[in-house]
Amino acid sequence: MRIITLALLAVFAFASCNQKISKTVIKPEAFHKMVDGKQVELFTLKNKNGLEIAITNYGGRIVSLMVPDKSGKMEDIVLGYETIDGYLNANEQYFGGSIGRYGNRIANGKFSLDSIEYKLAINNKPNSLHGGVKGFSAKVWDAVLKGNNELELLLVSPDMEEGYPGELKVKVNYKLTDSNELTLTYRAETSKPTVLNLTNHSYFNLHGAGNGDILDHEVFLNADKYTPVDSTLIPTGKIETVIGTPFDFTTPATVGARINEKNEQLAFGLGYDHNFVLNKVDGKAVSLAASVYDPQSGRFMEVFTNEPGVQFYCGNFLKGKEIGKQNKPYNYRSALCFETQHFPDSPNHADFPTVVLRPGEIYNSVCIYKFSTK
């Protein structure tokens, strides 16, 4: 009897100590604020394995993502802030956000659709980046929490907002499954022909946010080709092979292995900041786009999508100026992003997969981040 009681005590002690480790530092109260006349809040999704994700309806930001390492120790693996004010005052504007209407750049902030020319804000000279001055990642969305593991965010973007035509009704669904998948599903409808390219801009560090750089992370990209860019990070229009270049991640390689090689494309991106053209499995809507492994913690993340591309970005613009969660600075190359998407500047490249959405059509984009250890 005594042995059983002792054993039970040990189990409880272990469980409660584990819980302490797994508890996120983020407090929902720190996100209660009226922004643009709308209530901002923080929502937490959990699964049966203890994974925990906090999302705010300000910009649809993934604020924290608690994931175990190979010994079960939880760590928050996305960059971000502990308070809504952190996000409102940040220099780096996109941590964890739902990006729209157009993920990545549109050259010179201009495009034509059905012979009408549209002009967008130039917020990343000389181009328009991530939806303009106040894109979807800076909007307060309506939120519907669906049980423990699902959140739906809704936004109506008025006709000509940020220069884009059509009233757009957008829905982003965040679901944390018991197989440790975070599934992001985007749906949208428009009242007029428009262009659309939605994505999530989470910055991952599998050591934990703020715990050093990601140069030792081993990346696989399921892409034989990529879209090289000019010096302003606009695709030249060519689709080139990665074979024989530092862009070949068809066999896993560490981020750091070739990032500092002398290469014009790496110089333009200050490292990796490029769109990869994903290899697709015939007949499969959602397929593997990328994976990343941290040999230290054993954390492994796979990325699946129905999109034709993924923007692989390595935090080359971070310089330690951002002081994030737990007062940790976010240094140069201390995170990586896998932004599943259509190609940058597609509205100006007729031969890229189309980003045009017309009335009556339903936009459907899926991105799955799946977590495990090895």
Contacts with ligand GLA by CB under 6 A lie at 92, 94, 104, 129, 233, 273, 311, 313, 317, 337, 339
Annotated catalytic residue 339:
yes
Among 92, 302, 339, 349, the active-site one is 339
3-state secondary structure of 256: helix
- Give the nearest distance from C-beta 315 to ligand GLA in angstroms: 8
Burial grade of 29 (CB within 10 A; 0-12, 13-18, 19 or more) = exposed
DSSP per position, 96-110: TEEE-SBSSEEGGGE
Chain centroid to CA 345: 18
Q: In the chain, how many H helices and how many E strands? A: 3, 30
- Give the nearest distance from C-beta 275 to ligand GLA in angstroms: 8
- Give the nearest distance from C-beta 270 to ligand GLA in angstroms: 9
DSSP per position, 198-245: -EEE--B-TT-TTSS-STT-EEEE--SEEE-B-TTS-B-S--EE-TTS
- Give the nearest distance from C-beta 134 to ligand GLA in angstroms: 15
Angstrom distance (rounded) from CA 321 to CA 173: 32
- Give the nearest distance from C-beta 354 to ligand GLA in angstroms: 21
Angstrom distance (rounded) from CA 201 to CA 103: 9
Q: Which residue is at the shortest CB distance from ligand GLA?
A: 313
Per the document, the length of the chain is 374
- Give the nearest distance from C-beta 124 to ligand GLA in angstroms: 6
Burial grade of 87 (CB within 10 A; 0-12, 13-18, 19 or more) = buried
- Provide φ and ψ at 203, rounded to 5°: -105, 110
| Type of residue found at 203 | Y
Chain centroid to CA 369: 9
How do beta strands 194-195 and 287-293 pair? unpaired
- Give the nearest distance from C-beta 312 to ligand GLA in angstroms: 9
Q: Note if the bond before 126 is cis, omega within 30 degrees.
A: yes
Torsion angle in degrees (nearest 10) through CA of 301, 305, 309, 312? -20
Among 41, 52, 162, 201, the active-site one is 201
| Residues belonging to the active site | 201, 339
